[in-house]
Amino acid sequence: MPGAGLDLRRLALRSLRTVDRDVHLVLDPMRLALSLPQAAALLAWERPAAIFTTGGYVAIPVLLAARLLRIPALLWEGNVMPGRSVRATAGLASAVAVSFSATCEALGETAGSSRPCLLTGTPIRDIGSADRASARADLGVGDDERLVLIFGGSQAVRRLNDAVASALPRLVERAHVIHVTGDAGYGAALAGREALPAKVRLRYRPAPFLRDEMPRALAAADLVVGRAGSSTLAEVTALGLPMVVVPYPHAGAHQAANAGVLAAAGAARLVDDGAFNTETLLGALSILDEPAALATMAAAARDLGRPGAAGATAAILLALAERRPIPDPATIERISRGRPE
């Protein structure tokens, strides 16, 4: 944040990454005790109109201090299954925003309660301006050809990389492929591309990361293969893209629950992480040969999409900041869907 020109104030409290029996079992309660007056002093000095948080252990002193100072707070949760830290802090928030309706049930919150829980979706970057036709033309993908975008997130890409490497010769026979490898996998992906016959080599485009280029890659794609993080699913559904989803099996199995929502709606084909390999990748891509099924999945994804989630979340936060009534669920639904008045 300092590199972006933004002020950053740290509390004494640290994020609880482990539960090891070590010195931190003694130090963490002390850090928590120190962080409450620290947070109260910061908030009293800055006097923010409202607070936005994604919950977690480090949010406890801030939310406690905000409650004491009567500063409203909005907590946002992007997973179907809220973690223990979010469940612990949700009760300190003035309102809760979520990406999945089941999350409100898990938190015991409803839109009609004194602490409303509203379905906003996951705030994402502006992807609506990316033009599919121009993006595909830039990539040299014809109208009658298919493009698959494969990426696994910054921490969970190795299994996908291994499957792509083994399947690559057969993969590029069926489709153009944009493959986001991460730094560690990029060298091997480049070597794999050079080993391909010259006539199909340009059909495979590995990249260590896609940042500003990601919206155009998504707009050009016919199918996405990836993990089930909240932001990934939000961008895929906002564009109405069919997906082969391979949920990351760790981190409390949050991604499995997220992926289950898409699979149940018919927007994705779910493949367990342990079962994902060369053959399951190629088998999952059989959807490219079924235009009707592909269109049905795209429509189901579009029904789940909330491209206006950022605006809906902001509407709640601004209402809290200005001490106005929070917009009703129907208004939040309209905004999150990106629908005009």
Q: Are 91 and 110 in contact (CB under 8 A)?
A: no
pLDDT of residue 18: 54
What pTM does this model have?
0.89
Q: What number of other Cβ atoms are within 10 A of residue 128's Cβ?
A: 13
Which of 22-36, 143-157, 317-331 is the most confident on average? 317-331
Contacts of 328 (CB under 8 A, 6+ apart): 111
Q: How confident is the model at residue 254 (pLDDT cuts 50, 70, 90)?
A: confident
Q: How confident is the model at residue 89 (pLDDT cuts 50, 70, 90)?
A: confident
* Angle between the N-to-C axes of helices 230-238 and 254-265, in degrees from 0 to 180, rounded to the nearest 10: 20
The pLDDT mean for the chain works out to: 91
Q: Which of 117, 122, 58 is nearest to 93 (CA)?
A: 117
User: Is 73 in a helix, a strand, or coil?
Assistant: strand
Return the structure tokens found at 260.
Answer: 């289950």
Reported for 182-189, long-range contacts at CB under 8 A and 24+ positions apart, including other chains, are 182/152, 182/154, 182/157, 182/208, 182/209, 183/208, 183/209, 184/158, 185/157, 185/158, 185/161, 188/161, 189/161, 189/164, 189/165
Q: What is the arithmetic mean of pLDDT over 137-163? A: 88
Q: Is the dihedral of CA 96, 102, 103, 109 positive or negative?
A: positive
**According to CATH, what is the number of the domain 132-304?**
3.40.50.2000
Calpha distance 9→53 (Å, rounded): 15
pLDDT of residue 165: 95
Eight-state DSSP code of residue 90: G
Determine phi and psi for 117, rounding to 5 degrees.
-120, 120
Domains 2-122+307-336 and 132-304 share a fold: yes
Pairing of strands 73-77, 51-53: parallel
**Length of the chain counted residue by residue:** 341
For residue 148, what are the β-bridge partners?
A: 177, 223
Contacts of 171 (CB under 8 A, 6+ apart): 148, 164, 177, 204, 281, 282, 285
Among the ranges given (219-233, 246-260, 325-339), the one the predictor scored with the smallest mean pLDDT: 246-260
Q: Which of 74, 102, 70 is nearest to 89 (CA)?
A: 74
Q: Are 126 and 106 in contact (CB under 8 A)?
A: no
Calpha distance 119→209 (Å, rounded): 30
Q: What is the arithmetic mean of pLDDT over 241-262? A: 89
User: Is 105 in a helix, a strand, or coil?
Assistant: helix
CATH C-level class of 2-122+307-336: alpha beta
* Ranges of each domain in the chain: 2-122+307-336, 132-304
User: Is 217 in a helix, a strand, or coil?
Assistant: helix
The tens digit of pLDDT for each residue in 280-304 reads 999 988 999 999 999 999 999 999 9
